[in-house]
Chains A and B, each alone.
Chain A
Amino acid sequence: MSGGRDGEEEPPAERRIPGPRAAADDQEKLPPVRPGGWEPPGPPGPPAPALPHKVLQSLLGAWALAACSAEETAAVEEHLTSCARCADEALRLRDAVGLLHTDGALDLDPMLRSRVLEGCLGRRPARIPVPSWAAPYDAETARLDALLRDIGDPEWHAPVRLKWFEADHQVNRRTTVAGVIGHLMAVDGLVSRALGLHDPLGGGDRPVPPTPAERTETYWSAALRPLTRAVQEPWRDQSHTLVRTVSFAGRGVAELSVPYGDFALPLQDSLLERAFECWMHGGDIADAVAYPYEPPAAPHLHRMIDLAARLLPGTLAERRRTGLAAPARHLVTAGSPGRSLHLEVEGRGGGDWYIALDSPAALGSPAHAVAQVALDGVEFCRLVAGRVLPVEAAAGQEGDREAIRDVLFAAASLSRL
């Protein structure tokens, strides 16, 4: 019942349709009809109980992929000698298999994004630009998103141990890749909230907890089942919405206060802090699934280091109040240069910072430097993120040991869940 096209009857025996590629794990016990050969459709062997045309036709895809049993393969190939229509389709499908390939998509160079976007904006300047202080957040969320798209479903459940520094000790908390994204989303929600956008923790009857750690625990415990890759989309939507919103919001918004519970940051620093967290947790995830993950672009890294350097004097003061740092030595009037530590950050994103030691109101000053710490930018960031202990940080040190110790511990204490 073949019915060749255009009523044309092709001489079936001449068609010699080569078989499909060899199956890797054909588990059927029946002997040969070697798939993969270029044998002519053999002499009509003892045919299996004839399968109806419809069934044979439905097997053509599986046949072309060498994904049916040996009997079925034989039956299909037998059928192809007598049915021109199926023979045509079989050829077409087998050629289509040649278009499949196993080498998955190449990983996109994460730095290509900024090059492409810069190129575009050079050709046509944006009428509504992304503020420069939001650029690191935009870039880091995009980079993590690209990594997440490359990992498979099971990897979302890979264990991740989050580390930070609390009461001068390293502590940790176990979660999964999906849990890390949930954490990022819950804390980014602080920024959304400050901007009057949808808060992923909002909507319930209970008041939303204010601190990043409480928000994270609330988010995690509200999930009835372990988080899956389904968190990626809402996380990404939220970060896109944040970038878009701050682009439209105008200049003043940079100083909008974002409350973190026990402290607050102006929006521009808050997004920088979120970019930093996104990079660090991207690194945690990459480690968990054995992917490479590079540090941010140099200008972005520089801004992140600068934020930490600016937060250090206030943190030192806070630690002094609780007896964790040595007392102030020389108080100066606000705005005057005071005793300082020279933080020399080497490598990508590096530079020189002078950290006022005795009061956040004093100005850091090279002329008043009593100590110097030199370390690599990424190492400094890992210290600030609580991934490296102050005593283990690979840092060149010179001068007042107490000042150095206080600053290194203050840096580590900037970390949290």
Chain B
Amino acid sequence: MAKDAPPRWDRRMQQRLTRGEAAALGELYDRFAALVHSQAHRMLDDEDAADQVTREVFGYVWENPGAYDPRHGSMRAWVARLTHRRSVQLLRSTHGAAEGSGAGGRDEELEHRVLRATAAARADYIVASMPASLRAALELAYVQRRDYRQAASDLGVTGDEARRRLRLGLQLLSTANTRPSADTTPPGYGPTP
């Protein structure tokens, strides 16, 4: 689901949530549940943990709709950040519980896992939010294993254009790998759930 919410929808949703409208909560869930759950699942690789994060993220948004600031980006991006933060916390706490106050090597392994999971989740988010034309080209090449000329004819574009889309899509995707650390989050999004 990659519908980019218009800012108007975001603001309106925020007002409705603030007003305590249960129907708005349902619509919020319908729009973002797949995103939240798949991101959490990608991070934690566990169905129950992903359910738990989903419950917590929506609970947080419902209780704190004022924490969203539309000037800092879309509600979709905000919800994705909340999901990421909560998933990292859960990853750390379950790891801590499993390892006790583990040795340095364990911690390193955990940090590595957090980074890997973060990149994977961010990549999914990037794919879901990129223009549909780029996503379609990547899908043809990667999932259906079409070469770029075949992809071009499937998409009804020139070979040049297909090459451009594949390169641009991967360039966008590659930014998932380059962000620094797991829980650096831009300021201004309120306390963690």
Contacts and interface: CB of A to CB of B under 8 A. Distances in A.
Which of A61, A95, A127, A128 is packed against the most chain B CB atoms within 10 Å?
A61
Which of A67, A124, A244 is packed against the most chain B CB atoms within 10 Å?
A67
Interface string A29-72: 00000000000000000000000000000111110110111000
A24 interface: yes
A115 B62 CA distance: 14
Interface in A104-160: 105-106, 108-109, 112-113, 115-117, 119-121, 123-130, 138, 142, 145-146, 149
Interface residues on B, range: 35 or more
Given A68-B147, A100-B127, 19 more contacts: A61-B163, A61-B166, A62-B148, A62-B166, A93-B167, A97-B170, A99-B176, A106-B41, A108-B33, A108-B34, A112-B54, A113-B29, A127-B21, A128-B21, A130-B26, A142-B26, A244-B23, A247-B21, A247-B23
B166 A120 contact: no
Given A65-B141, A99-B119, A240-B27, A58 B167 contact: yes
B38 interface: yes
Contact of A61 (B62, B169, B176): B169
18 contacts: A61-B165, A61-B166, A89-B171, A93-B167, A96-B171, A100-B142, A116-B29, A116-B59, A117-B25, A119-B55, A123-B63, A127-B19, A127-B21, A128-B20, A128-B23, A240-B30, A244-B21, A244-B23
B90 interface: no
Contacts, number: 173
B1 interface: yes
Given A61-B163, A61-B166, A116-B33, A25 B145 contact: yes
A96 B147 contact: no
B173 interface: yes
Contacts of B132: none
Contacts of A65: 138, 141-142, 148, 166, 170
Contact of A105 (B38, B58, B123): B38
